[in-house]
Structure 1
Amino acid sequence: MKEGENVDTYFARTLIIANKMKIHGENMQPVVIIEKIMRSMTLRFNYVVCSVEESNNLDTFTIDELQSSLLVHEQRMNGHGGYEQALKVTYDDRIGGRRGG
């Protein structure tokens, strides 16, 4: 995967190559394609790849499921703009109680 490339573009490019290999007689099992895709993801997807590997049986996992999982994470990363915001909470002891004596 190229830096800055989106998941859909990468999958389209990768599946075209895999299909051409099948046409020329290469026996490409889905698990092999899945493993190759996961190994070639950029660093920003490392935690997603680790999560997929640990929580799924790759022998029964489909290419579509992998793509969907990576797309969801890509959308979350893009939607948050790369930073997190924290809520600021303040306490005012005058609210909800008496002050003084």
Structure 2
Amino acid sequence: MEEDKSHKIIPRFDGHYDHWSEMMENLLRAKGVWSVVERGHVEPLNTEVLNNNQRVLLEESWTRDYQVKHYLFQALERSVFEQILDRSTTKSIWDSLKKKFGGNEKIKKSMRNTLRREFELLEMRKGEIITDYFARVTSVSNKLRSNGDDITELKIVEKILRTLTDQFTYMVVSNLYGCFN
């Protein structure tokens, strides 16, 4: 039986923590090792008093931790990797990435303000293909949502209709006329 190759693709961290962390969480859950990130790995104080079953469980726990660390190390560029101070466990790596790149509410608020301004200034350029303009508007809208803004589909559609170039004026008017009849 051939193994599903889609689970072998490890998302590369590109600086967008929220998107990357969702992709990694999904991968790690599919692999059955997400609990290593959530709970972490705890080393017992005295390994000499462990029975054989406890030793096996401890080794399995370390194996899962190393497996997830392997995925994380593959996902990170060297420059990001070097910014992680404590690489001893998966949980410490994940928490470090979250703290450094996840941002706090002040950062997200600032980002929302910047993106709202970018959204307000968006206009279709002369000669631009409409699908490219839709993609630009959608990209900014998605960034707003990922930073906690509740921008509605109606607001996005209104923005697009308001900012299309003159060549689309008759289509917009005819579509609007059709909506009210």
Which of the five TM-score ranges fits, normalised by the shorter chain?
0.5 to 0.7
Measured in 1, the distance between the counterparts of 2:164 and 2:170 equals 11
| Alignment counterpart, residue 30 of structure 1, candidates 153, 161, 167 | 153
RMSD: 1.2
Q: TM-score, normalised by structure 1?
A: 0.53
* Residues 59-89 of structure 1, C-alpha deviations (whole Å, 9 max, x = no match): xxxxxxxxxxxxxxxxxxxxxxxxxxxxxxx
Which is richer in helix?
2
Gaps of 5+ in 2: 1-123
For residue 56 of structure 1, report the CA deviation from its aligned partner.
2.5
TM-score calculated relative to the size of structure 2? 0.30
Say if 2:146 is the partner of 1:16. Answer: no
Q: Where does the alignment leave 5 or more consecutive residues of structure 1 unmatched?
A: 58-101
The 2-side partners of 1:53 and 1:25 are apart by 31
Runs of 4+ residues deviating >4 angstroms: none
Distance 1:32 1:41 in 2: 14
Report how many residues are paired: 57
Identity of aligned residues (%): 35
In the alignment, is residue 41 of structure 1 matched against residue 41 of structure 2? no
Note the 1:1-101 alignment, pairs <5 A.
1-56=124-179
Larger radius of gyration: 2
| CA distance in structure 1 between the partners assigned to 2:162 and 2:141 by the alignment | 15
- Greater RCO structure (CA 8 Å; 6+ sep): 1
Question: Structure 2: how far apart are the matches of 1:3 and 1:32?
Answer: 22
